[in-house]
Structure 1
Amino acid sequence: MTDYLKDALRKAAMFCAYQERTQQEVRDRLKEWGVLGDDAEEVIAELIQQNYLNEERFAKSFAGGKFRVKGWGKRKIKQHLQQRGISGYNLEEAMKEIAPDDYRTALTELLDKKRRSIRDDNPLIVKQKLVRYALSKGYESDLVWQVLGADE
């Protein structure tokens, strides 16, 4: 490995150590640094071997964090992971990070909190706003309707 590649590997390792990254994010950063083609792939392979880069770990961390911290639903999490080039096995493993009971509880709490902020007396308008909000957060419509129906 040339000095130029060792330097790129060192910088990329620091980039990955700061927070979990996808291969595509590292590839884009290497491109910014002028490391292209086979050289970039060699650096990425070395990062994977040294366990700086692990897409399953990234996907699990991302899914768990967005669910717990931002209150995102599975549809939105899955969409964002796919945009980052995560698919197949890693995507499925990431979704397993979200326990079904926790998921339903989080949706219920999200809707309760939102309901308190809605200033409208018409129950149909309130329900419409709650559904729209939950869908925008990435929750599945059938689950949203189940949770809202259980409140009636």
Structure 2
Amino acid sequence: MFTKKTYTVDEALKRMESYCSYQERCHKEVIQKLRDMYMIPEAIDHIVVKLMQDNFLNEERYAKAFVSGKFRIKKWGKQRLTRELKQKDIGKTLITMALQTISDQEYMETFHALAEKKAESIKETNVLKKKKKLADYLFYRGWESHLVYDKVNEVF
């Protein structure tokens, strides 16, 4: 019969230190990982506090890293970034602070480049369908509606 592996608090703490060292993590991810390791709530609280004290776990640093990575690599807009961070239980002030790390100029340049690249790749003859495909793509990526509609009308 299969028996689940159990961990002492010290073993779990060591595993979580290496888990957090590998890449930035939010509290929710760490707590879920500890639950998956069958740790009791008191142990989870103790480990999370210890990770925060030793600076392995820092929500502000996580939010900034998340925003910068997803914006630069996946080209997500502020709406999508905000939504994803809220799902990870990151506070409003931290989300706002993280979004401010993106310069307005860089944000607009990325948006225009992404929209134009996608517009060129749409193989559709009907202009309305082209507009809808481009708009849907940009909305899915989390760009603001006023930007999307202006760009769609400008491109087609």
Give the TM-score of the pair, scaled to structure 2: 0.89
TM superposition outliers: structure 1 runs of 4+ over 4 Å: 149-152
Question: Corresponding residue for 1:127?
Answer: 131
- Does residue 39 of structure 1 match 2:53? no
Residue in structure 2 matching 1:4, options 4, 8, 15: 8
Give the TM-score of the pair, scaled to structure 1: 0.91
Contact 1:75 1:139 in 2 (8 A): yes
- Does residue 104 of structure 1 match 2:95? no
| Partner SS for 2:8 | helix
- Does residue 141 of structure 1 match 2:125? no
Mapped to 1, the partners of 2:65 and 2:126 lie a distance apart of 40
Mapped to 2, the partners of 1:88 and 1:124 lie a distance apart of 37
Contact 1:20 1:53 in 2 (8 A): yes
Number of residue-to-residue matches in the alignment = 150
Residue in structure 1 matching 2:60, options 38, 56, 72: 56
* Post-superposition CA distance 1:77-121 (Å, at most 9, x none): 111111111122211111112211111111111111111111123
Structure 1 stretches of 5 or more lacking a match? none
TM-superposed deviation, 1:24: 1.1
Question: Corresponding residue for 2:31?
Answer: 27
Mapped to 1, the partners of 2:33 and 2:132 lie a distance apart of 43
